[in-house]
Structure 1
Amino acid sequence: MKKAMNNPWQWQDQLGYAQGVEIAHATHTLYCAGQAAMDAQGQPVETDMNGQIRLSFDNLETVLQNAGYSMTNVVRLNFYTTSIEQFFAAYGQIIHRLSTAGCTPSSTLVEVKALAFPQLMVELEATAVR
């Protein structure tokens, strides 16, 4: 898989994402459902924003690995949160997780009124290619 970043500016670099990611000749695409702080039985895990982000990424990586992908294959990563303020307070761990994985996806952040369960504060939606 050959990835080409499309960044007409540099300001997004410090936030760990790309304005666009072009994939030449991808052979497979995995569209992941939103992953949140849920346990293996499908129950929400009550924790703070840091804990929810960590578990959401863990769940996303489980889905990716189950299909033969890794975070390196993620080209689009959307974030939905009930609090942008709390989300950005925990953003350092997102930057660390993405940079450790060699992942620079295109991305969108949206604050929403609520997610599927009232305890949830963040949900990750990804597209991966190989």
Structure 2
Amino acid sequence: MERTDIGPRYFGGKLGYNHAVLLAGPQRWLVVSGHEARDAEGAIAHPGDVCGQLRLTFQRLDETLREADFALRDIVQLRLFTTDIAAVTAHYDVVTDVLDAAGCRPASLLAEVAALSDPGMLVEIEALAAR
């Protein structure tokens, strides 16, 4: 697969996102539904803690990707939904650190919504991966 990053944007020296990602010849695609910060019993973890929820949500996303023989670096599109965009943008280094460590350079969206499926959720992340 050949990949071309288009219009990269950096935050604090780390890639925040690309305006677009051009792929030529991907063999496999994985469409990943919204993930959230749930503990082993299925309850929302880290109530009121956007950093904790971001970290655990990325961990859960990574687990799903690995189950399908993908990795975070294979994500080409990422959508982050939050009920508190000010809190997420204030701690966006959590996102850029995870993406940087994984070599992940997605096209992405960050949007504030009125509510998510569980009142304790501050963040939900969905993704599209390709190899």
- Normalising by structure 2, we get a TM-score of 0.92
Q: What does residue 109 of structure 1 align with?
A: 110
Q: 3-state DSSP class of the match of 2:30?
A: strand
User: How far does residue 43 in structure 1 lie from its aligned partner after superposition?
Assistant: 2.0
**AA of the residue aligned to 2:114:** K
Contact 1:37/1:120 (CA < 8 Å) preserved in 2? yes
Matching of residue 128 in structure 1 with residue 129 in structure 2 = yes
Q: 1:90: how far off?
A: 1.3
Question: 1:2 — aligned with what?
Answer: 2
| Cα displacement (A) at 1:44 | 1.5
- Structure 1 unaligned regions, length at least 5: none
2:55 aligns with 54
Paired letter, 1:85: A
Which residues in structure 2 correspond to 1:1-130 (within 5 Å)?
1-7=1-7, 12-14=9-11, 16-47=16-47, 48-130=49-131
Structure 2 CA distance for aligned equivalents of residues 73 and 40 of structure 1 = 25
**Cα distance, 1:13 vs structure 2:** 2.2
Task: Kindly tell me the number of residue pairs found equivalent between the two proteins.
Answer: 127
Structure 2 Cα separation of the partners of residues 88 and 13 of structure 1? 14
Identity %: 36
Higher strand share: 2
Partner AA of 1:23 in structure 2: L
Give distance in 1, aligned partners of 2:99 and 2:6. Answer: 18
Conservation of the 8 A alpha-carbon contact between 1:64 and 1:70? yes
Alpha-carbon separation, structure 1, partners of 2:117 and 2:103: 30
Moved over 3 A (4+): none
